[in-house]
Amino acid sequence: MKRPSPRQQKLASVYDADVWPLGPLRAAEPLLRALPRRPKTVALEYGCATGKLARAVAERLDDESRVVAVDPSPAMIEIATAEPAPRVEYQAADLSPLPVAPASCDLVYSNLAVADLPKPGEAMAELARALKPGGKLLVTLPLRGSWAEFLDLYRDVLREHGKHDALASLQVYEKTLPDPVTATRWLESANLTNVTLETVRWELLFKSAREFFFAPIIELGPLSTWKQIAGGRGGEMQDVFFFVKEAIETYFSGLVFPVTMVVGLLQGERRS
């Protein structure tokens, strides 16, 4: 197993307490409801993190089913394997190549992990290749509209301070969050049929700008990308985020800062 990076170690250490309840758990709920209940299911999870969803899936399948749960972070796999579960096998592995043969799985699923990859559409096609004919793919991912309250304030600050290049970069970033049509097309392009999309929404609530920026789901999630938009490191980026912090504190003085999450559950089946 390769050595985890410091960021991977930090995220793994706080994932169960500070990340899972705020995002992945909520996104996993419709995925669990959509699980096919086939006997002797061979299932693959990409992006299993500390294994909470893999164990929940295994509990819902019959005793002759098994789950291969993979994650690119060795630190996550180390924590997952510390809580062994019947019929779940954990591996530290990247998306390509997957540690299963093509057309070998009845069920392939991923909860929010595909969104972290540079080309989510290609990632879904890679996952779809692991499906047997008639097998099912379930993928959750953030949709356009996620982080809206923060992104609106961020845009206002960049516009007010004449950061035209950063505004253009922010626009590009927002387009990486797919709309429902684009997300659905990814599965159709992977030659899947009976493609559907279910959308769920919830709010993350923060007592202050400081709590928002230092929450692990933000700090160890999209914050580094947001900082790159403002110049990455150095004084320019720090100045921008100082004004964003001030904007949050001004507009939400005495109130919680609500940030919307919009997550889609994509479903599709491999053609028989």
Shared domain for 188 and 84, answered yes or no, is: yes
Q: Are 233 and 118 in contact (CB under 8 A)?
A: no
pLDDT at 75 over 90: yes
185 inside domain: yes
pTM of the predicted structure, to 2 decimals:
0.95
Residue 155's domain spans which residues?
A: 146-172+208-255
160 has which bridge partners? none
Shared domain for 187 and 229, answered yes or no, is: no
Shared domain for 132 and 240, answered yes or no, is: no
pLDDT at 65 over 70: yes
- Which pLDDT score is estimated for 37? 86
Look at 1 and 158; give whichever has higher pLDDT: 158
pLDDT in tens, 114-134: 998 999 999 999 999 999 999
pLDDT at 3 over 90: no
pLDDT at 198 over 70: yes
Shared domain for 155 and 199, answered yes or no, is: no
Return mean pLDDT, the chain.
95
Shared domain for 99 and 129, answered yes or no, is: yes
1 inside domain: no
- Give the total number of structural domains in the chain: 2
pLDDT at 1 over 70: no
Q: What separation, in Å, do the N-terminal and C-terminal C-alpha atoms of the chain show?
A: 36
pLDDT in tens, 80-113: 999 989 999 999 999 888 999 999 999 999 999 9
pLDDT at 233 over 80: no
Q: In which band, very low, low, confident or very high, does the pLDDT at 217 lie, cut at 50, 70 and 90?
A: very high
Shared domain for 87 and 25, answered yes or no, is: yes
- Which pLDDT score is estimated for 239? 94
189 inside domain: yes
Q: In which band, very low, low, confident or very high, does the pLDDT at 253 lie, cut at 50, 70 and 90?
A: very high
- Which pLDDT score is estimated for 235? 84
pLDDT at 232 over 80: no
The pairing of strands 105-111 and 131-142 is parallel
Q: In which band, very low, low, confident or very high, does the pLDDT at 182 lie, cut at 50, 70 and 90?
A: very high
Shared domain for 130 and 34, answered yes or no, is: yes
Q: In which band, very low, low, confident or very high, does the pLDDT at 236 lie, cut at 50, 70 and 90?
A: confident
Shared domain for 62 and 191, answered yes or no, is: yes
- DSSP-based helix, strand, coil % in the chain, nearest 5: 45, 25, 30
Token digits for 222? 């999209």
- Which pLDDT score is estimated for 97? 85
- Which pLDDT score is estimated for 50? 98
Token digits for 88? 């779940």
Shared domain for 137 and 223, answered yes or no, is: no
Position 36, amino acid: P
221 inside domain: yes
Q: Which of 12, 34, 28 is nearest to 82 (CA)?
A: 12
pLDDT in tens, 129-179: 999 999 999 999 999 999 999 999 999 999 999 999 999 999 999 999 999
pLDDT in tens, 28-62: 999 999 999 899 999 999 999 999 999 999 999 99
Shared domain for 92 and 213, answered yes or no, is: no
Shared domain for 104 and 51, answered yes or no, is: yes
The pairing of strands 257-270 and 131-142 is antiparallel
Sign (positive or negative) of CA dihedral 160, 162, 167, 169: negative
CA distance 33 to 16: 21
For the sheet with 66-71, list strands across it.
Answer: 88-92, 66-71, 42-46, 105-111, 131-142, 257-270, 192-206
CATH code at 18? 3.40.50.150
CA distance 179 to 145: 9
Shared domain for 191 and 237, answered yes or no, is: no
- Give me the percent of the chain exceeding a pLDDT of 90: 91
